Amino acid sequence: MIERTIDIETRDGRCTTFVVHPERGGPAPVLLFYMDAPGIREELRDMARRLAACGYYVMLPNLYYRDGVMEIWPIPMDPEAPERKRMFALMSNVTIENVMRDTETLIAFADADAAARPGSIGTLGYCMSGQHAINAAARFPARVTAAASLYGVMLITDKPTSPHRVANKAKAELYFACAERDSWAPLDTVRQLDASLKEDGVLAEVEIYPDTDHGFAFPLRPVYRKQAAERHWERLINLFRRRVG
């Protein structure tokens, strides 16, 4: 496996990005892996390595680079804790437009790297970034052929960038993995999303994972559920193999 941590120049600064891909058999198809709220940490790098071990060129960008922050970990449970309040403040600065500009730059970087295969790419995002993965599919329909939101938040909002609004602009196959218990994406919201996607004829699956909580796929979280996490890996790999290569 080959891995690097590099600074990619964007219009807004230098986006530190973890890049990992197989040593042999390339060039490898590209996956853009958008981080969750606590930021870039070894737990996410290990998940990127797992995807790369399946044959992909994985890019994991630090979406907090505009604020000069890499991670906020561990996150205290106390909602009044300063670190937790700081995390939410950082999240509010990660706008869809900023992430889409970053995505354009990341795609251009991959296109110039001989280790990355040109053509179709996949996107995935956990928590705050589920919406980024779906918006990337809508913004770059000629490139993104598969997109996954994993216990994503803000699935239905009144904004034009709401996943339920932009999904019909995508040509990708979309996948939404949702926890049964999630205050950020309650089951009523998940069901509304599913109904909206079906009404619009979007190629998408919305799957509710029984007896799980928000964050169930992260090994270092108290809510980690191994069986559900392995199921989500199966779904992701099959999606990307089917639609990206």
Closest listed residue to residue 10, CA positions, set 95, 91, 109, 96: 109
Instruction: Give the relative orientation of helices 130-139 and 96-111 as an angle to the nearest 10 degrees.
Output: 60
- Identify whether the C-beta of residue 205 lies closer than 8 Å to the C-beta of residue 231: no
Cis-peptide into 38, omega within 30 deg? no
Q: What is the pLDDT of residues 204-237, one digit of tens each?
A: 999 999 999 999 999 999 999 999 999 999 999 9
Report the pLDDT value the prediction gives residue 232, as an integer from 0 to 100.
Answer: 98
Report the pLDDT value the prediction gives residue 20, as an integer from 0 to 100.
Answer: 98
**Residue-level pLDDT, tens digit, the chain, 245 residues:** 999 999 999 999 999 999 999 999 989 999 999 999 999 999 999 999 999 999 999 999 999 999 998 888 777 777 778 887 788 778 888 999 999 999 999 999 999 999 999 999 999 999 999 999 999 999 999 999 999 999 999 999 999 999 999 999 999 999 999 999 999 999 999 999 999 999 999 999 999 999 999 999 999 999 999 999 999 999 999 999 999 99
Domains of the chain: 2-243 (3.40.50.1820)
Report the pLDDT value the prediction gives residue 88, as an integer from 0 to 100.
Answer: 76
The CA distance from 16 to 62, in Å, is: 6
Report the pLDDT value the prediction gives residue 175, as an integer from 0 to 100.
Answer: 98
- Identify whether the C-beta of residue 158 lies closer than 8 Å to the C-beta of residue 184: no
- Identify whether the C-beta of residue 209 lies closer than 8 Å to the C-beta of residue 175: no
Report the pLDDT value the prediction gives residue 111, as an integer from 0 to 100.
Answer: 98
Report the pLDDT value the prediction gives residue 99, as an integer from 0 to 100.
Answer: 98
Report the first-to-last Cα separation within the chain, whole angstroms: 19
The strand pair at 2-10 and 13-21 is best described as: antiparallel
